[in-house]
Amino acid sequence: MSTPYYEDEHVQLWHGDFRDILPRLDIHPDLVVTDPPYGETSLDWDRWPDGWPSLLQHLPRTSPRNIHRNHRPHPPRPPQTHPLPRLRQTTTPQPETKLLRPMPQTRQRTPQTPNTQTGSSMTRRPHLLDAYSGAGGATKGYQRAGFHVTGIDIKPQPHYCGDDFHQTDAITFIREHGHTFDAIHASPPCQDHSVLGSVTGREHGTAHLLADTRAALKLTRRPWVIENVIGAPMRPDFRLCGCMFNLPGLRRVRLFETSWNGFSLIPPCYHTGHAVTVAGHGAQGNEYRDGAAPTQNDRRRAMGIDWMNRDELAQAIPPHFTEYIGVFLMAALQERAA
């Protein structure tokens, strides 16, 4: 191939095996970023390309120190100006569980918000509304990130862990009271968007709630976050999985769409060992290859949650996820207050 597949004033794209194309290009890169196949599946294209590191090292101005490979991921981090708080251990850590390396321990700076009664500024914990809260998996993470959290759910939640709770319709509450909060998180029902739902063909009649919730959130003019599963019609500003936080065995990917178009360079999933499934109503019964089925304690440990029953746990968000998102949300509030 003698010409680029695509070219504009900023980028050139070449189609083919880079080991064949690169020697023919007269380039002198300062940095090389690669994402080679890992060779971990039976797919035809997933074959480790032998010899590519030595080829790159012979490029002018390139050394092994500035060849960056997308390989085994490290825990995701937000921007350096807003470091994560020290992440907590999972509830009942096992000796073999490798926890995240502690982040620099800094005090969270709460944004100054106008006092509508006096017109002055006040410093306090920002108030966050957790819509479709369940028993509070997302709530717990936002509390760790520095928020005062009020949960709302259409069903009673006797095990809810937040600061306040209202049993009511989420969209109606957002429309009537959402503007009184500093920020809002919403997790509309995911069953009609999930892979399992598409396989079974069973509809729960809740697919419209995601779009209806987004419309209600936009009317509040407050920073917001929507969480859902792969397959949901949403923009995945953040895609998080249990492996990114060293939650033991948890394979649970969740997408997060944000009002401020959040962004973070997060490595892909990397799983080893047995997977712990936490889905449906918790009665998976799936066995490991060695015949040992995961217990309720295994699932609680994998989720980093110790206060929920089986059904509550199956619908929950790991607190580690929203503690991470909460740092970005806190930064968005600080920018609004500046």
Residues 59, 60, 65, 69, CA torsion sign? negative
| Residue bearing the bigger pLDDT, 134 or 75 | 134
| Strand ranges (E), 82-163 | 112-114, 121-123, 127-131, 148-153
Q: Is the pLDDT of residue 307 over 60?
A: yes
Query: Is residue 155 pLDDT above 80, yes or no?
Result: yes
Q: What is the pTM (predicted TM-score) of this model?
A: 0.64
Percent of the chain with pLDDT over 90: 41
> For the residues 106-117, what does the mean pLDDT come to?
37
User: pLDDT tens digits, residue range 80-104?
Assistant: 444 444 444 444 343 343 333 333 3
In this structure, the strands spanning 127-131 and 183-186 are parallel
What confidence score (pLDDT) does residue 174 get?
98
Higher pLDDT, 297 or 66: 297
Distance CA 311, CA 247 (A): 20
**Per-residue model confidence as pLDDT tens digits over 314-337:** 899 999 999 999 999 999 999 998
User: Two tokens at 182?
Assistant: 């500093």
Q: How many CB atoms lie within 10 A of CB 1?
A: 10
For residues 229-237, average pLDDT: 90
Catalogue the E-assigned strands of the chain: 6-7, 12-13, 32-34, 67-69, 112-114, 121-123, 127-131, 148-153, 164-167, 183-186, 224-228, 238-240, 254-258
Residue 39: pLDDT band with limits 50, 70, 90: low
CATH number of 121-337: 3.40.50
> With 90 as the cut, is the pLDDT of residue 143 above it?
yes
Residue among 287, 276, 281 nearest 242 (CA):
276
Residue predicted with more confidence, 305 or 18 = 305
pLDDT band at 40 (very low <50, low <70, confident <90, very high): low
Q: What is the spatial distance between Cα 167 and Cα 129, in angstroms, rounded to a whole number?
A: 13
Taking the domains of the chain in order of start, what are their residue ranges?
Answer: 6-69, 121-337
At residue 191, the pLDDT reads 60
For the segment 5-18, the average pLDDT, to the nearest whole number, is 83
CA-based R_g, the chain, Å: 23
User: Residue 92: what pLDDT?
Assistant: 39
Mean pLDDT of 143-162: 97
Q: What value does the mean pLDDT take over residues 50-69?
A: 61
Q: Could you give the CA distance from residue 235 to residue 88 in angstroms, rounded to a whole number?
A: 29
